[in-house]
Amino acid sequence: MVPTTIYHNPKCGTSRNTLAMLKEAGEDPQVIEYLITPPSRDELVSLIERMGIPTRDLLRQKGTPYDELGLGEDRWSDDQLIDFMMKHPILINRPIVVTAMGVALCRPSEKVLELLPEGAIASFTKEDGDVVGGPGA
């Protein structure tokens, strides 16, 4: 069985909401604070492949050295972008969640619902007051 894992940044509201939703669904996820314990290169490549997204889609721009490194330019290969993420883990967008149902970058946080059994969360109120699931959501 695949353990539920979240690559988490506790300073990020989206990441905190996602973790809270996992717990609300009865999950006891392995929490990896990826800025303290970044994934290995092989793990990062595997996560990207399992998410089925282009490498560039995992890059975070806000609050990172994205612009100063010129990462918006098309000249960078996937391998080079991964090199940048390994050198600067803050460039890895978050949260990434792994469950038995798949792997996803959970932005917005309610994307985590796609990785949980249907009905795992009846209703959840996010930090900003938005309600996920349930009537009126």
Residues annotated as catalytic are 12
Q: What does the block give as tokens for 105?
A: 């970058």
Sign of the alpha-carbon torsion through 72, 61, 29, 106: negative
- Cα–Cα distance, 119 to 100 (Å, whole number): 16
Strand bridging mode 30-33 / 96-99: unpaired
Q: In what order do the strands lie in the sheet with 102-105?
A: 30-33, 5-8, 96-99, 102-105
Closest by CA position to 56, among listed 38, 39, 72, 34: 72
